[in-house]
Amino acid sequence: MDVSAPLSLVTDDAFREIFQSMSEGILMVDESGKIVIANPIGEQIFGYDKNELTGVMLENLLPERFRGRHVNFRKGFNEHPEPRRMGFGRDLTALRKNGVEFPVEISLSYTKVQGKLLVMAFISDISQRKKAEDALKRSEEQLIIYAAELEKKVQSRTEALHKTIQKLENEVTERKRAEEEARGALEKERELNELKTKFVSIASHEFRTPLSAVLSSASLINQYNERGEKDKVDKHVQRIKSSVNHLTSILNDFLSLGKLEEGVIDINKDSLKLRDFIDSIREEMSPLLKQGQQLAVEFDSETEIYSDARILRNILFNLISNASKYSPEQKTILLKFEKRNGAFILSVQDEGIGIPEEDQKHLFDRFFRASNSGNVQGTGLGLNIVKRYAELLGGIITFQSNSGKGSIFTVTVPI
């Protein structure tokens, strides 16, 4: 097996270096459960020599009593892959090559290469921490978990963004015979050219800073880790996570805008249990909030609606992200959900900087950012995308805001 093949997925030297120098073990596993590649820390954790883990079944790294159950778990993950943290609220153990069991923490993510699923396991040996916890016994203080969750989606989403820009550049507006249709075609072409120019300009500007931060932090982590400076390692791990989250947000906005411009988004409505839906939103969004920020929710626990969960999820992610970015730490973001007069109403209320009155008429314009946004990162696409998603569901978005006193965004869609 070509060991270098999986690393070729990350063509940039900086990301290749990140994979090799991560302070936690990384295993990439195919759908059959066979390990495709492991980084040096992963090999060290399990006591294997260089490249010796390649081709080993993942279950061989588990105590025998867990292997049968894990096969079913792995099949279930392959059928419904999603980033997740394993073992929350319980202990996980793994097996070294010499047969010794040891405690671990594991986070899962995934990617697809040539249509085939590759599962990524981020593994930390927490033996030392467990020893400390045993010594402290009933201590209420928990050790800070610094497991890095650097997702490999950046590469695939960058490629998708490139394809979107390429498609926009190759678009040619068909000439219409009638004068009125010709004017409309020319206007559309002008708007697309402006969009492409801003697309490239914003992408170039917004990508440069987080990518530089990831590169410098990845290099420093290895140095600090060798010197045992854990606090500095934690600081740069958080810096990488923040940069990756920012890049992912930008890519999501660009990809959503591209799909909306192309008109390729389908509406797939289905019965949706509101409690389960909100719990999943809260679980995904909470780690991305600023320090001390909380998501509070008000809704009818028995509410069930008929709508497109994917589009509603995108609407909420954008609104909650904005509420967090433009609010200070230690503030509460309130989500409200209700059914009324044949409509589903959701609102997101924050205690942030608000929107100046003179900016409010342009708030949903593409690439527009309020004059008081300052150094807060963003592309000016989020609210434009939310408005268009709401319209796809036949709904509307409204807002109330005062500068310095926070904002309330309300989306109403028919059900």
pLDDT in tens, the chain (415 residues): 344 445 454 445 666 777 787 888 999 999 999 999 899 998 999 999 999 999 999 999 999 998 888 888 889 889 899 888 875 556 788 999 999 999 998 899 998 888 889 998 899 888 888 888 767 766 554 433 534 455 677 787 778 878 877 776 777 566 667 667 767 667 766 765 565 555 555 555 555 556 665 666 776 787 777 777 778 777 767 767 666 665 666 666 666 666 666 666 778 888 888 888 888 888 888 877 888 999 999 887 667 888 888 888 888 988 998 899 899 999 999 999 888 888 889 999 999 999 998 988 888 887 777 888 877 776 777 888 889 888 888 999 999 998 888 999 999 998 7
pLDDT of residue 382: 80
pLDDT of residue 1: 39
Residue 361: what residue type?
K
Reading phi first (left if > 0) and then psi (alpha if -120 to 50, else beta), residue 144 is in: beta
- Asked if residues 347 and 336 have their Cβ atoms less than 8 Å apart, the reply is yes
Q: Which among 46, 44, 50 is positioned nearest to 59, based on CA atoms?
A: 46
**Which domains, and CATH codes, for the chain?**
4-149 (3.30.450.20), 156-262 (1.10.287), 270-414 (3.30.565.10)
* Sequence-ordered strand ranges (E) for 88-141: 92-95, 101-113, 116-125
What is the rounded CA–CA span in Å between residue 287 and residue 279? 13
Phi, psi for 341 (deg, rounded to 5): 55, 45
Half-sphere exposure for 259 (CA within 13 Å, toward CB): 16
pTM of the model: 0.45
- Asked if residues 352 and 406 have their Cβ atoms less than 8 Å apart, the reply is yes
Residue 214: what residue type?
V
The 3-state DSSP class for residue 225 equals: helix
Provide the 10 A C-beta neighbour count for residue 178. 8
What is the rounded CA–CA span in Å between residue 26 and residue 334? 37
Phi, psi for 306 (deg, rounded to 5): -120, 105
Pairing relationship of beta strands 84-86 and 92-95 according to DSSP bridges: unpaired
Helices (H), 22-63: 40-46
Structure tokens at 249: 């947000």
- Asked if residues 400 and 347 have their Cβ atoms less than 8 Å apart, the reply is no
Q: Which distant-in-sequence residues (6+ apart) come within 8 Å of 121 by Cβ?
A: 25, 26, 27, 28, 29, 58, 106, 107, 108
